Amino acid sequence: MIPILSTLAPDFEKKFARIVDSRREADSDVAAQVADILRTVKLRGDAALAEYTQRFDGYALADDADWEIPRAACEAAYAALAPELREALELAAARIRAYHEAQLPQNRDYTDAAGVRLGAIWRPVDAAGLYVPGGRAAYPSSLLMNAIPARVAGVERLVVVTPTPRGQTNPLVLAAAHIAQVDEIWRVGGAQAVGALAYGTQRIKPVDVITGPGNAWVAEAKRQLYGVVGIDMVAGPSEIIVIADGKNDPDWIAADLLSQAEHDPTSQSILITDDAGFARQVEDCIDLQLSQLATGKTARASWEAHGVIIVVNDLAAEAPALANRLAAEHVELAVDNPDALMHAIRHAGSIFLGRMTPEAVGDYVAGPNHVLPTGRRARFSSGLSVLDFMKRTSFLGLDQASFAAIGPAAATLAHAEGLPAHAKSVELRIR
């Protein structure tokens, strides 16, 4: 049994601070290995990709047919799906598309009181690269969550890279690629695939933005390449906080906690409750469910190493402050009045309201994006949206009258900053 922390205990703050400060991400060895891989891919292109793919995936990229998965294969995978699975993917795609269409920003073009024309135009990037894992698990839902916002944004070229260990492809991922109308799918993965998307190779043209989840090497590659390309975020292990009172079914809450623990041994699941007896019931349910889960080995490693149960005296008064310090990827509010708690929680990737809203629904069919900040980064960043695939260009226009109204102030500031050419550029027009 893992220890249960109480906010009434004198050493609670010390123990909780240790949880907040803990990092379950890549170490310096990973960073050095990734830097070497990226340098090699930049120098040697396809030859480096072929060598890494043979070494890590046991797959030989011998000729063109080995490198790229054709669209026809994606269409065939879609056609071969069982009807209920096809319908589930289509429902997910439709809801994701509708949610992200509502995110599209509006262009602005107006004239202010001084007569200056101002505004901004939003445009999509030309090409986006989407990383789709193929190791521990392959997720068609992640492909939809990354590709559909890019399409909604208006991106013309969507490129997927995904490892295919020993040449094996996941038909669900291919079917999702068909639904999302992906343009290219390359059989490469790992940091080397991220490098290929950023730098380009003889076969793979470079992209402008790279998004999608991956292991520590993939996340580190994206971090190192930020600036060469745009990225969605540096994603770490999955996280969930469940804030629940004693009125819940402990089996439900146990399953919610394990839904993230089963992702990876470094995932973290945290329960915050005001009922110590309920906390013990949840822990008992977790033990029972772990013995029955096909992913039990992974989930148990996560729960035993990183699981946390916190008992508070007053859920409404204490839980939001704890959640804000943890700034978790997912926060479930399994209480009677979730709105009150939601408005007090400032830092969370996504919030799930009420007893009938498990995080797992959000992973698939709800609509909001499931690509969310981890590692306490919800303090300053947001989940994936159409804006990650777009950029804003501002514009302004002055005529003689509006220039006379604001130009002299610009010249004054230019002189104050010691930039005489700036000042002259303005003053010549004033005269």
Distance CA 40, CA 43 (A): 5
Query: Which of the following is catalytic: 263, 330, 347, 370?
Result: 330
Name the burial class of residue 314, with classes exposed (0-12), middle (13-18) and buried (19+) by CB atoms within 10 angstroms of its CB.
Answer: exposed
Q: Are 245 and 403 in contact (CB under 8 A)?
A: no
Distance CA 193, CA 111 (A): 47
Q: Are 234 and 209 in contact (CB under 8 A)?
A: no
Q: Are 6 and 12 in contact (CB under 8 A)?
A: yes
Count the neighbouring beta carbons within 10 Å of the beta carbon of residue 242: 28
Q: Which two tokens stand for residue 418?
A: 């010691």
Q: What is the dihedral of CA 140, 25, 46, 176, to 10 degrees?
A: 10
Q: Which two tokens stand for residue 365?
A: 């069919």
329 is catalytic: yes
Query: Which of the following is catalytic: 329, 332, 347, 370?
Result: 329
Count the neighbouring beta carbons within 10 Å of the beta carbon of residue 105: 13
Q: Which two tokens stand for residue 250?
A: 């402990």
- In our burial notation (b when 16+ CB lie closer than 10 A, e otherwise), range 323-344 reads bbbbbbbbbbbbbeebeebeee
What does residue 247 show for φ and ψ, rounded to 5 degrees? -80, -10
Edge-to-edge, what's the strand order for the sheet holding 209-211?
Answer: 184-186, 157-161, 127-131, 209-211, 230-231
First to last CA, the chain: 81
Count the neighbouring beta carbons within 10 Å of the beta carbon of residue 165: 15
Helices and strands (H, E) in the chain, number of each type: 18, 14
User: Which residues, including other chains, have CB under 8 Å from residue 110's CB and lie 6 or more apart?
Assistant: 117, 118, 119
User: Which residues, including other chains, have CB under 8 Å from residue 394's CB and lie 6 or more apart?
Assistant: 118, 119, 120
| Residue 339 three-state SS | helix
Q: Which amino acid is at 169?
A: T
- In our burial notation (b when 16+ CB lie closer than 10 A, e otherwise), range 370-388 reads bbbbbbbbbeeebbbbbbb
Q: Which residues belong to the active site?
A: 329-330
